[in-house]
Amino acid sequence: MSGSSGFVWDWAFTIKMLPLLIKGAGMTVLIAACAISLGTCIGLVIALIKVVRNPILNYLGGLYTWVFRGIPLLVQLFIIYYALPGATGINLDPFPAAVLGIGMCGGAYIGEIIRAGIQSIDKGQMEAALSLGMSYSQAMRRIIIPQTYRRLIPPMGNEFITLLKDTSLVSVITMVELLRTAQIYASSHFKPFEMYITAGLIYLLLTTFFTVTFGKLENKLAQSE
Amino acid sequence: MIKVIDVCKSFGNLQVLKNVNLTVAPGEVVVIIGPSGSGKSTLLRCMNYLEKIDSGKIYIDGQLIGKKEVNGKLVEAPAKEVYKMRENIGMVFQRFNLFPHMTVLNNLMEAPVLVRRMDKGAARKLALDLLKKVGLEEKANAYPAHLSGGQQQRVAIARALAMEPKIMLFDEPTSALDPELVGEVLSVMKELAREGMTMVVVTHEMGFAREVADRVVFMDEGRILEEGTPQQIFTNPQHPRTREFLAKIL
Ligand SMILES: Nc1ncnc2c1ncn2[C@@H]1O[C@H](COP(=O)(O)OP(=O)(O)OP(=O)(O)O)[C@@H](O)[C@H]1O
Ligand SMILES: [Mg+2]
């Protein structure tokens, strides 16, 4: 029964390729880190313009979420990398295009997470802060936002994991990261099994890092309450 | 100290305040009573402009609240001025609204340091003095979640006092408390009244009203129907609605 296709895992090849895959993973982590930072900044801005009492800003925030959450990331990447240069003359290298694409899309989701977090805080908190003479922004900064941290950790952890996995899409705009590296050597050496399984395991390792870190963070904040 | 003149306020089609007039003298304690939905909370919230008013004027310590007179016309005051005005008006809520992520001490120190730029040492001293006054010195480093309702409300009163306001507004401060915890909060309020604080109190505690109030105001359906000394209101109410209300509650 066993080995009906005669398949044997090629350990020597796997080990030889490991440094290249790890280099690709380095690029994956770099893209993810930049995109997560950008996405978090955008998300904060989007969340804030959605909760301030200004209908125009609220509308713009809603518009942003609608567009960037509604168009598939893959299509957004194509637009940024392939369509924008022809239409506007803006020619982005693959790396900034990748970070921008994932970051802007992630910003839409993170914005929603933060907004929901802010709006889940009891309205009495804002009223108490205002009644003590605080300004709206002081109340946000010192009273409301700090109370959202613990509630934000689980959904933010999920979102960071999603963004990390989404980096595998940027191979379509010629970015050589973990998946693309695996793809190149899988086809040139006819070793798809070794390459893709190893790449998959490296992704799993990276996402596990987030799971563990966020779990610890949640515990730590839970203790301080 | 407080002058409410012809104030109207609606939520959508529902008119909640209908030409309300009320004057509170410095050091006076005014208790507002009335059935649920009569607009008591709304009136209180208008006094520190947590709610905007549709028409009328409110003066606190001679200063127009939330509005500004420009060339004889009333316009909304800039947010900054509204924030500044609120520093003089403390408010205590039914559900305490302590900041759960801060210790009791930091709940008291936050606004003086942030808003009045008080130095931390002075703010701490002020906070500890106030905690002593409400009998909760030993809870300075506790978090609100670890206090009983009565203790939380006493901290909330101390927190409002930390801004050294000229006026204190209380919106049913004991309604969310177990009966055995009501007394400790009321006694803090009585002490405050004795010290001459100007207070407006919405409450169903008629004993408190009788003992402490200089004046009792009866509200119904957005109007002040009757006001007078506790003696007048409780023993000789003039308006049939007041009689009806008191008959139900006493
Ligand atoms: N933010 C709001 N939006 C719409 N309607 C409101 C709002 N706040 C209060 N109301 C309505 O206004 C009316 C007066 O409310 P208010 O809270 O001032 O009454 P109250 O006298 O304090 O009653 P209670 O004794 O129940 O606290 C009620 O009918 C209430 O439903
Ligand atoms: Mg009320």
Mutate to test the pocket of ligand 1, among B9, B11, B91, B220 (most ligand atoms within 8 A of CB): B11
* pLDDT, position A127: 97
Query: Is residue A45 a part of any domain in this protein?
Result: yes
Going by CA atoms, what residue is nearest to atom 9 of ligand 1?
A: B42
B126 close to A (CB below 8 A): no
**Cα of A144 vs its chain's centroid, Å:** 25
In a domain, A74, yes or no: yes
Is there a domain that residue A168 lies in? yes
Q: How many domains does chain A have?
A: 1
Within-domain flag for A28: no
Ligand 1 mutation target, pool B9, B14, B170, B217, most atoms within 8 A of CB: B14
CATH number at residue A40: 1.10.3720.10
Q: Residues lining ligand 1, CB < 6 A?
A: B 11, 14, 16, 34, 36-42
What pLDDT, on a 0 to 100 scale, did the predictor assign at position A4? 61
Cα–Cα distance for residue pair A108/A46, rounded to 1 Å: 7
pLDDT above 90 for A19: yes
Looking at the domain assignment, is residue A12 inside a domain?
A: no
pLDDT at residue A225 in the model? 59
What single-letter amino acid sits at B242? Answer: T
Report chain A's mean pLDDT, rounded to a whole number: 93
Is A18 inside any structural domain? no
Q: Which residue in B64, B53, B49 sits closest to B20, CA to CA? A: B53
Task: Provide the pLDDT confidence category of residue A53 given band limits of 50, 70 and 90.
Answer: confident
On whether residue A85 sits in a domain, the answer given is yes
- Looking at residue B75, its pLDDT comes to 87
pLDDT tens digits along B115-159: 999 999 999 999 999 999 999 999 999 999 999 999 999 999 999
Q: What pLDDT does residue A20 have?
A: 95
Query: Which residues of chain B fall below pLDDT 70?
Result: none
pLDDT at A1: 43
Distance of alpha carbon B41 from the chain centroid: 9
Domain that residue A172 falls in:
33-224
Return the C-alpha torsion angle A183, A184, A188, A190, nearest 10. Answer: -20
Q: pLDDT tens-digit profile of B46-72?
A: 999 999 999 999 999 988 988 888 888
pLDDT of residue A141: 93
pLDDT at position A7 is 84
B21 C-alpha vs ligand 1 centroid, how far in Å?
18
- Asked if residue B5 lies in contact with residue B49, where contact means CB atoms within 8 angstroms, the answer is no
Write out pLDDT tens, residues A103-142. Answer: 999 999 999 999 999 999 999 999 999 999 999 999 999 9
